Amino acid sequence: MASEDATAGRTAAQAVIAALKESPITRASFLRLVAGVLLVIAVGPAFYRWIKGAFDTGGSSTAEYVANDGNRMLPPPAPLPDSAAVVGGGAKGNFRIYTVTEIPTFSSDTWKFAISGLVDKPNAWNWEQFLQMKRTVQVSDFHCVTGWSVYQCTWEGIPLKQLLAVAGVQTSAKFVKFYSGDKVYTDALSLSQANGDDIMVAVLMDGKPIPQQLGGPVRLIVPQMYAYKSVKWLQGIELIEKEHMGYWEVRGYDNDACVGKSNA
């Protein structure tokens, strides 16, 4: 029976990862994507960041993004006491919305999350099962490589190292690859980086569900690295042996995205 359950878990997890690899990108989106890639290649990441900064409108408040959330995730996650009390005092600053695809919309009826690859116990969860996993609360800042930051965000979610421990990482695994639910964006961390204490698979920010435009219902949070590592709309984690270069890294951004140390 245990063997059958393990086989079912592996099959379900592999199916979720396989689906995330099937890009649904439209012709219009593809042309926009190509244009953006060519721009980064032509002018370089530093100048591209300057262009973004020059046209920065200052972003919008978190409350505006929450009010316009297009996701339909039921039941909503119930915040832990520290999360409900917003122990960080509330996010200081405004988020800007950057995306390489059209912003996807998610429903709890079809949403899945999986961990697979070089692990002993691959698994897949639906929304209600995912919400049953033990969560913690942390306060950390959010830094974009284009020059803006949002400070003292109160995040609630599952520590990444907790997920990895439950899955049972195999000795051959060296890197952790992350898949966005937009089916285009990916990124990765080394296994040692992924076991950092403050890296979180987050479901709430300042006591409220993470809205669609900010990468919800679930997003990765890597506070000590620039935000292109904090994969939005996270739905898949895969343990791999060989290094994976993420979406922006293959377009010129540093794989070492440490805030204040990377030139991105």
Q: Would you put residue 179 in left (φ > 0), alpha (ψ -120 to 50) or beta?
A: beta
Number of residues in the chain? 264
* Residues in contact with 145: Cβ distance below 8 Å, sequence separation at least 6, in sequence order: 49, 226, 227, 228, 253, 257, 264
- Better-predicted residue by pLDDT, 136 or 11: 136
**Which residues are bridge partners to 189 per DSSP?**
176
Q: In the prediction, which pLDDT does 109 show?
A: 97
Mean pLDDT, residues 181-208 taken together: 97
Cite the DSSP H helix spans in the chain.
2-20, 27-54, 62-67, 81-84, 127-131, 160-167, 191-194
List pLDDT tens digits, range 18-74: 999 987 655 555 555 555 555 555 545 554 454 455 445 566 677 888 888 999 999
DSSP string, 26-76: -HHHHHHHHHHHHHHHHHHHHHHHHHHHHT----B-HHHHHHT---B-SSP
- Better-predicted residue by pLDDT, 15 or 4: 15
Q: In the prediction, which pLDDT does 55 show?
A: 47
**Which residues are bridge partners to 150 per DSSP?**
142
Mean pLDDT, residues 78-93 taken together: 97
- Identify whether 217 is preceded by a cis peptide bond (ω within 30 of 0): yes
List pLDDT tens digits, range 162-188: 999 999 999 999 999 999 999 999 999
pTM for the model stands at 0.86
Q: In the prediction, which pLDDT does 31 show?
A: 55
| Nearest by Cα to 196 from 175, 169, 215, 223 | 223
Q: In the prediction, which pLDDT does 9 show?
A: 82
Distances in Å between the alpha carbon of 5 and those of 108, 118, 123, 248? 23, 17, 10, 38
| 8 Å CB contact between 64 and 29 | no
Q: What token pair was written down for 172?
A: 């051959």
Q: With the C-alpha atoms ordered 36, 70, 187, 260, is the resulting torsion angle positive or negative?
A: positive
Collapsed DSSP state (helix, strand, coil) of residue 7: helix
Q: In the prediction, which pLDDT does 100 show?
A: 87
Q: What token pair was written down for 250?
A: 């293959």
- Better-predicted residue by pLDDT, 252 or 83: 83
Q: Does residue 256 register a pLDDT over 70?
A: yes
Mean pLDDT, residues 217-227 taken together: 97
* Residues in contact with 64: Cβ distance below 8 Å, sequence separation at least 6, in sequence order: none
